Chain A
Amino acid sequence: MMTKPIARFVSVIAALLIANQTIIAQPKSERIVHYTMKVALDTKEKIVDGKMDLVWKNPSNDTINELQFHMYLNAFKNTESTFMKESGGQLRGVSFRASDPLIWGWVDVVEMQTASGIDLTQNMRYIQPDDDNEEDQSVISVALEEPVMPGQSIKLKINFKSKLPRVFARSGYMDDFFLVAQWFPKIGVYEPEGVRYAEEGQWNCHQFHANSEFYADFGVYEVEITLPKEFVVGATGELKSQHDNTDETKTLTYIAEDVVDFAWTASPDYRVVEDQWKDVKIMVFLQPDHLPQAGRHTESVKAALDYFEKHLGKYPYSTISIVDPPLKGMGASGMEYPTFITAGCIWGIPDWMRFTEMVTIHEFGHNYFMGILASNEFEEAWIDEGFNSYFEMRIMDETYGERYSFMGHEKFHYGDWEYQRLGYTQSGNPKIAEPFRNSWEFKHGGYGTMSYNKTAIWMATLERIVGRLTMDEIMKTFYDRWKFKHPCGQDFIDVVNEVVTKNHGTKFGGDMNWFFDQVLYGSEVCDYKLARISNSKTRPPEGIHEEGGNKRTYKNIEYESTIYTSSVRIHRIGEVIMPVEVLIHFEDGEEILERWNGKERSYEFSYEKPVKVLWAKIDPENKILLDVNLMNNSLTAKPKRAALWKMTLKFLFWLQNTMQFFSIFS
């Protein structure tokens, strides 16, 4: 049996051997940060005690005199934080009960020093760059004694302590379950001039808001975690080593490279299922009762891995961990961290209800949107959530069937694009805001609808307008150009304009700005209505006409056959203008596909033919998914009543059965 001193010696040697080992030979990102951490989890007190070395590189041409850090866990310190005030103490349907003292969370920097021994602890102060809430402690500014020159690095030694809250908003504990996320003092992003919208170099380090997520630089994380040995652990990156200690604890060391975050989980109850997709190791950390549902996680994540490789780029990491939180810890479900996601499933849920698959695919997709294309989730939530929801739609519908992918029962079914579209069109107020808005500025709702649903739907509309091939080229170009960087919305628009012009010339105008001005920067809705179909017999001319300078009456003119003057009228009810196709179907089976620029409030197509117009349909191929009302997109002159009778007779049957049921109690 190893004695304590020998065990300690071995662990030091192991740490030295592991330190600075890399998995990925060639860095994929600029690696602005390098975190080396040694942390210990006290599972009874719910506290993480940490020592961290942080190397931060100045990516700009500016002289940096201060550093800014996110202290996310302080959002859960009390009811006065910006997060708690904005959320009202609840998120994702889970509430905080203020009475229990153990539920609160916080993070403290106990000590901060430079590598040369300069103590910066007293130089820290809380700042509130977004609002005037002086009680909010989710951001600190640290004044430096010596500036960091352009291109140079600073190394800091930070001792910190993190008290995990009871989980209700992604991070925390529930009994013996721990989801440890946003848990350490995390340095903010310094945006040099020209990056994203920065007109001059600036710290972009927002407070933690109820509706915001995160933003960080790429880097390397080497994290050594010590905790009681009965706990099963999963984390970002690769497990490099693990050993037992003599005090009934164990220590695990993880390394993750070219990532923007590091999260981990621990629970003694996990059952781990492993699988493989090419060179990617898949690990699913399941609750014991959910073990039979392991396949739902692995198969859906493999479908996503396949799809993203085909349409965007190969998954660049060697692992993906999927966490299934317990019922009481569902506040941690449905969340993304690099190479590490939380999904969630429910015991007994039938295969045709695909919540688990949808969440797994969605959260995995975030590895691309926000993990590799590291957009600013505070300011442009629509990029990661909307783009990811768009890909989620594509993957779900292609894998499980377009109208069956989300709910797949024969009697009750709908697909992911239906779910996304109805999430937008059937929201209480689809005009509530524009998607392009800081996440905390959705003060009266609309964050989810605009960031997820509407963005996914306008992406799908864009795809259907410019064509799938062009859309794929847009996404691939955007990915290749901006992977492992910080793109912004304008960067995406620039790519769209470039690719669409290359492929389609001026077919859609000089650029696609008209599209984004409406769907991204505007809040109006799109609604075209097939207002009227009319058919009338064409009458020969009557009355007086001029003939050789004399007034003559038209003679009785008879046409050889009946000619109809038909018209199909379309109204633009909404403010959004889209190019519109209209399919006109005549009685003899002839069809004409008309195109209209969609601009006027009312437009009419007219015909003179020996047959009448039977029906007409706006957007017959469902290109404009943004249209908030598809019911008014068509009209028929000869309605078939069968469908109405079917619904009526079902209503009658329901009513009769209800009456009969009540009579049991008579």
Chain B
Amino acid sequence: MNIFRAYISGFKSTGRTWAMPTFIYVVNLILGILFAIPFLGTLKQKAGFTMSIQDVLSGYDHTVFQELFNEATVYIGQFIRQGLWIAVLFFIISIFLTGGILHIFSDKSYPFTFERFFSGSLKFFLRFLKLSMYMLVIYLLLTALIFLIVFLISAGVFSGTGSEKTFFFIVFPGFCFWLLVIIFFLIIADYARFSIVRNDSRNVFITIFRSLKFVSRKFPFTYGLYLMLLVAPVALIYSYTLLSNVIGMTSGITILVMFLIQQLFIWAKVFTRVWTFASQFDYFLGRAF
């Protein structure tokens, strides 16, 4: 199967099993709401009856934000910290759910059912968890290595007569290179998961290496497919930015409209994530190792 066909078939598969991305979106929303409600409560308590907060409606007001944060620093800081922990929790949950997603896509002759979905989630969770932990270490090591090189080059330039323009043209390409390398290893991680599901591989470490070989051998196609799949989320972000600039959140109606658009945006991002799995998995199945 070529990458263009995989791109389309992945979209179709995801569309047919729309309940899956919707379910993931609902989990995302529930976790978010669990924190948003006490956040609203704190805001009401700290600033609910002051007129100053109304200035926030018409747009950004730096003084109001600074004073509100100063007034409620302890609480808002707590929410942000807890929010980050929630993101970590969602990361674990995502690992769990990925097993279900790939289990469904591994055999499309069976219809989507939550029973099948969760059985896949359970079956592959521990291996996927191990895989994700190994990959996290790899990402960190890569980041450290690349930015160490960037830092050493920058330091060498700085000991001379380098200007900030020079630094930018060292750091920015370094950052771009880092991004491209990280994407490469994200693809390796995805194909390792496909291998675990399709071949029921037990040895995660060896699966990563085999995936590395596969992705490298098919580099233009695996990387090209991933870049194609990135177009949709990038377009989503751009569209959202345009819409939010046009509509704003300056009244009850526009706040409600933007809330709905925001949730649609989140759902669509989850959809594209599942679509990414579906398309790559289809390509993998067509070129299985």
User: Given the complex, which residues of B lie within 8 Å of A327, measured CB to CB?
Assistant: 162-164, 167
Residues of B close to A642: CB separation below 8 A: 57, 251-252, 255
Q: Give A617-631 as 1s and 0s: 1 = Cβ < 8 Å from B's Cβ atoms.
A: 100000000000111
Tell me whether A630 and B63 are in contact in the complex, defined as CB-CB below 8 angstroms, given that A289-B165, A649-B258, A656-B28 are known contacts.
yes
Cα(A654)–Cα(B39), bound, Å = 13
Q: Which residues of B contact A326 (CB under 8 A)?
A: 161, 163
Q: How far is the CA of A634 from the CA of B48 in the complex (A)?
A: 11
Residues of B within 8 A of A651 (CB): 35-36, 39, 79, 83
Complex contact B95–A175 (CB within 8 A): no
CB within 8 Å of A: which B251-274 residues: 251-252, 255, 258-259, 262, 266, 269-270, 273
Is A426 on the interface with B (CB-CB < 8 A)?
Answer: yes
User: Given the complex, which residues of A lie within 8 Å of B232, measured CB to CB?
Assistant: none
Is B90 engaged at the interface, CB distance under 8 Å to the other chain? yes
Say yes or no for B71: interface residue by CB 8 A criterion: yes
Q: Is A26 in the interface zone, CB < 8 Å from B?
A: no
Interchain CB contact (< 8 A) of B63 among A418, A640, A666: A418
- Is B135 interfacial (CB-CB < 8 Å)? yes
A629 and B252 CA atoms in complex are apart in Å by 28
B51 sits at the interface (CB 8 A): yes
Whole-angstrom distance between the Cβ of A47 and the nearest chain B Cβ: 21
CB distance from A628 to the nearest CB of B (A): 9
> A662's contact among B90, B165, B186, by CB below 8 Å, is which?
B90
Q: Does A639 contact B (CB under 8 A)?
A: yes
- Known A328-B158, A656-B266; contact A662-B63, beta-carbon cutoff 8 A: no
Chain A residues contacting B48 (CB-CB under 8 Å) are 639, 641, 644
Complex contact B165–A658 (CB within 8 A): no
Q: Which of A346, A426, A659 contacts B87 (CB 8 A)?
A: A659
Main SS class of interface, B = helix
Task: Indicate if the CB atoms of B165 and A646 lie closer than 8 Å.
Answer: no
Does B141 have its Cβ within 8 Å of any Cβ on chain A? no
* Residues of the A chain whose Cβ atoms lie less than 8 Å from the Cβ of B273: 660, 663-664
Q: At the interface, yes or no: B168 with Cβ under 8 Å from chain A?
A: yes
Query: For residue A326, which residue of chain B has the nearest CB?
Result: B163
In the complex, which residue of chain B has the Cβ closest to the Cβ of A349? B164
- Asked if A414 is an interface residue, CB under 8 A from chain B, the answer is yes
The interface residues of chain A lying within 8 Å CB-to-CB of B63 are 414, 418, 421-422, 630
Scan residues 211-257 of chain B and give those whose CB is less than 8 A from a CB of chain A.
249, 251-252, 255
Q: Is A413 in the interface zone, CB < 8 Å from B? A: yes
Interface presence of A439 (CB below 8 A): no
| Beta-carbon contacts under 8 Å, A187-241 to B | none
Query: Is A652 touching B47 in the complex (CB atoms < 8 A)?
Result: no
Name the contact of A648 in the complex, choosing from B39, B95, B168 (C-beta under 8 A): B39
Q: Is the beta-carbon distance between A655 and B52 smaller than 8 angstroms?
A: no
Distance (whole angstroms) from the CB of B204 to the closest CB of chain A: 14
Chain B residues contacting A644 (CB-CB under 8 Å) are 40, 43-44, 47-48, 53
Cβ contact within 8 Å between B51 and A643: no
Q: A647 interface residue, CB < 8 Å from B?
A: yes
Chain A residues with Cβ under 8 A from B87's Cβ? 655, 658-659, 661-662
Residue of B nearest to A650 (CB): B249
Decide yes or no whether B143 CB sits under 8 A from chain A.
Answer: no
B51-101 with Cβ < 8 A to chain A: 51-57, 59-64, 66-68, 70-71, 79, 83-84, 86-88, 90-92, 94-95, 98
Q: Is A653 an interface residue (CB 8 A)?
A: yes
Contacts of A657 in B (CB 8 A): 266, 269
Tell yes or no: A124 within 8 A of B by CB. no
Bound Cα distance from A327 to B62, whole angstroms: 29
Any A CB within 8 A of the CB of B33: yes
From A346, A421, A635, B50 is in contact (CB under 8 Å) with A635
Question: Known interface pairs A348-B165, A664-B273. Does A659 touch B32 (Cβ–Cβ under 8 Å)?
Answer: yes
Closest to B56 in A: A643
CB distance from B251 to the nearest CB of A (A): 7
Q: How far is the CA of A426 from the CA of B259 in the complex (A)?
A: 32
Q: How far is the CB of B5 from chain A (nearest CB, A)?
A: 25
Q: Mark A323-349, 1 if CB is under 8 A from B, else 0.
A: 000111000000000000000001110
Most buried by B among A617, A632, A653, A661: A653
CA A403 to CA B56, docked complex, whole Å: 14
Enumerate A338-375 residues with CB–CB distance to B below 8 Å: 346-348
Whether A643 and B54, one on each chain, are in contact in the complex, defined by CB atoms closer than 8 angstroms, is yes
Q: Is A630 touching B91 in the complex (CB atoms < 8 A)?
A: no
Chain B residues 109 to 144 lying within 8 A of chain A, measured CB to CB, are 128, 132, 135-136, 139
A-B residue pairs in contact (CB < 8 Å), sample of 15:
A269-B161, A347-B168, A348-B165, A631-B50, A641-B48, A643-B53, A643-B57, A645-B255, A654-B83, A655-B31, A656-B29, A656-B262, A657-B269, A660-B269, A665-B132
Question: Which residues does B use to contact A, with CB under 8 Å?
Answer: 28-29, 31-33, 35-36, 39-40, 43-44, 47-57, 59-64, 66-68, 70-71, 79, 83-84, 86-88, 90-92, 94-95, 98, 128, 132, 135-136, 139, 158, 161-165, 167-168, 186, 189, 249, 251-252, 255, 258-259, 262, 266, 269-270, 273
Closest 5 CB pairs of A and B: A414-B62, A666-B94, A634-B51, A663-B94, A659-B90
